Amino acid sequence: MLNVLPGRDSTVGLPVADDIGLSIKSQELYGDDPVGSEMHLAAWHAAQWRFLKGLAGDNIKDLGFLPGIIIEGHEWKFVATTWKKGKTKLFSSLSLGSTTTELGVYRIFASLKVLGTWVMLFFWP
């Protein structure tokens, strides 16, 4: 199947051989527009939704959303996109935590664990 689908990761072995289930956009805090990060990630997701629509057809509605993380300096934020009638809608941005505190780092780890589980149980199957 890897040879048939264009744009797929040709790496053999799980989990890196599967489609991208979680997009992460990192950006330096200084001089960059935070809205630009969200729009950049939304553009990635729009392309991914179109690809998935081509594979799954109308069953794409069963996926619900695509998750993403934006890292700006020390702050980590969760974003999600949905697909409806050929349009990608961005929902932004929920704070996951900050690397400036121990509690913030634990929150980030916990969030990554939840998102990783979601990818393995709902996105990849």
Point out the least confidently predicted range of 1-10, 42-51, 67-76. Answer: 1-10
**Exposed (0-12), middle (13-18) or buried (19+): which is 21, by Cβ within 10 Å?**
middle
Q: Note the pLDDT of residue 1.
A: 41
User: 0.85 cut: is pTM over it?
Assistant: no
Higher pLDDT, 3 or 53: 53
Check pLDDT > 50 for residue 2: no
- Please give the Cα distance from 109 to 125 (Å, whole number): 24
Check pLDDT > 50 for residue 98: yes
Check pLDDT > 60 for residue 14: no
* Domain spans, the chain: 23-123
